[in-house]
Amino acid sequence: MAEDGLYLEGLTRRYGAVTALADLTFAVPPAQVVGFLGPNGAGKTTTMRAIFGLVELEAGDVAWRGRPIDAAARRRFGYMPEERGLYPTMQVREQLEYFARLHGLGPLAARERAVRWLERLGIADRADTKLEALSHGNQQRAQLCAALVHDPELLVLDEPLTGLDPGGIDEISEVLSERARAGVSVLLSSHQLDLVEDLCESVVIIDHGRLVTKGTVRELTTSGAKRLSVRVESVVDPTWARALCGVTVSEVHGDSLRLVLEEGVDSDLVLRAAMAQGRVTEFAFERRRLSEVFREAMA
């Protein structure tokens, strides 16, 4: 069992004929933002709820820093649930202070933190407004303030980026990266794979409650067939690469080609073949997008 961060082992839960979680195991290390991905109904929310003891598991364990999670540990966690948990008719700052007090802060510290996070997420001017009077995106920011207000050591965020404008996405991404740099373990679910690719160091992909794949974004986007972008200036025959064994030409744009190399094909051979055609002005390996990795994992 991992001694650092959050460790989920063998989580299993069925609802009648539906398998929500099936022997699911993964870790959320300290100082990392981990993206939690899967199609609708894959089991992400159920997993997150299990971390907070809100789902009765048939089997499996959830551990924080190598120990079972108790109420004291949970007070140091921050949670942004899918069913957003704030009170619609209560003023924003008032309820942030209330949540901070629930997590053990004194009245002065609670007020200071509430103000600080409202300022950080750009809604300080709405502090005395009822939550229900805020726009959807600003309610989302307030929800995130509530998850952050007690400076938690673990952040669990169920689709925190949904419904935000590009500025809001940048601000929240920056806050989450900064929290991770400060040592916090961050687990976030999202269907916005391009954002996850930019924000997360690693991802866990599940389907039907089972682990499909996990790894760093770098590992996952650079594994498998190599992709090359090659440009040969003033090339006479832009399809020159078609003759190479184990190489597929996936796109041709003028004198630029995108190539897919089967495993084991030596890229030096491709470079030499390109140089034989003319002056090579581009020769670069390309990563797969995370969305491609996801689609392949689901196929």
> Which residues in this chain contact ligand ATP in the complex, by CB under 6 A?
15, 18, 20, 38, 40-46
Measured distance CA(249)–CA(260) in Å, rounded: 6
Q: Which residues pair with 78 in a beta bridge?
A: 155
Q: Which residues contact 34 (CB under 8 A, 6 or more apart)?
A: 28, 185, 186, 187, 188, 200, 201, 202, 203, 204
Nearer to ligand ATP, 130 or 208 (CB): 208
Nearer to ligand ATP, 18 or 102 (CB): 18
Nearer to ligand ATP, 76 or 191 (CB): 191
Q: What is the DSSP string of 195-245?
A: HHHHH-SEEEEEETTEEEEEEEHHHHHHSSSEEEEEEETT-S-TTGGGGST
**3 state SS for 125-159:** HHCCCEHHHCCHHHHHHHHHHHHHCCCCCEEEEEC
Minimum distance from CB of 51 to ligand ATP (Å)? 12
Nearer to ligand ATP, 45 or 202 (CB): 45
Measured distance CA(240)–CA(183) in Å, rounded: 51
Nearer to ligand ATP, 13 or 126 (CB): 13
Minimum distance from CB of 16 to ligand ATP (Å)? 7
Minimum distance from CB of 159 to ligand ATP (Å)? 7
Residue identified by tokens 């971390």 is 51
Minimum distance from CB of 43 to ligand ATP (Å)? 4
Q: How far apart are the first and last CA of the chain?
A: 31
Nearer to ligand ATP, 41 or 107 (CB): 41
Minimum distance from CB of 144 to ligand ATP (Å)? 18
Minimum distance from CB of 208 to ligand ATP (Å)? 8
Q: Phi then psi for 102, rounded to 5 degrees?
A: -60, -30
Measured distance CA(4)–CA(29) in Å, rounded: 6
